[in-house]
Amino acid sequence: MECVVQGIIETQYVEALEILLQGLCGVNRERLRVHEICLKSGPNLGFVTSEVRLLCDLEQSEPAWTVKHVGGAMRGAGAEQISVLVRSMVESKASKNVLRLFYSLGYKLDHELLRVGFTFHFERAAQITVTVSSVNKMLKLHATDEAVPVTPGIQMVEVTAPATSENYNEVVASVSSFCEYLAPLLHLSKPGVSTGVVPTAAAAAASLMSDGGGTTL
SS3 per-residue string spanning 86-154: EEEEEEEEECCCHHHHHHHHCEEEEEEEEEEEEEEEEECCCEEEEEEEEEEECCCCCCHHHCEECCCCE
pLDDT (0 to 100) of residue 212: 64
Domain that holds residue 87: 2-212
Q: Is the residue at 142 inside a domain?
A: yes
Question: Residue-wise over 4-18: b if at least 16 C-beta within 10 A, else e?
Answer: bbbbbbbeebbebbb
Per-residue pLDDT of the chain (217 residues; tens, 9 = 90+): 999 999 999 999 999 999 999 999 888 999 999 999 999 987 776 667 789 999 999 999 998 999 999 988 888 877 788 889 999 999 999 999 999 999 999 999 999 999 999 999 988 889 999 999 999 999 999 999 999 999 999 999 999 999 998 999 999 999 999 999 999 999 999 998 877 888 889 999 999 988 765 555 5
Q: Is the residue at 217 inside a domain?
A: no
Domain count, the chain: 1
Q: Is the residue at 172 inside a domain?
A: yes
φ/ψ of 84, rounded to 5, equals -110, 135
pLDDT (0 to 100) of residue 75: 85
Q: Is the residue at 157 inside a domain?
A: yes
Q: How far, in Å, CA of 213 to CA of 217, rounded?
A: 12
Q: Is the residue at 102 inside a domain?
A: yes
Q: What own/partner pairs with CB < 8 Å and gap ≥ 24 does 194-202 have?
A: 195/7, 196/8, 197/8, 197/9, 197/10, 197/154, 201/9, 201/10, 201/13, 202/13
pLDDT (0 to 100) of residue 214: 53
CB neighbour list of residue 51: distance below 8 Å, 6 or more residues apart: 38, 39, 40, 41, 69, 70, 110
pLDDT (0 to 100) of residue 200: 86
Residue pair 56/64 in contact (Cβ under 8 Å)? The answer is yes
Q: Is the residue at 44 inside a domain?
A: yes
Q: Is the residue at 39 inside a domain?
A: yes
Q: Is the residue at 69 inside a domain?
A: yes
CATH of the domain at 68: 2.40.320.10
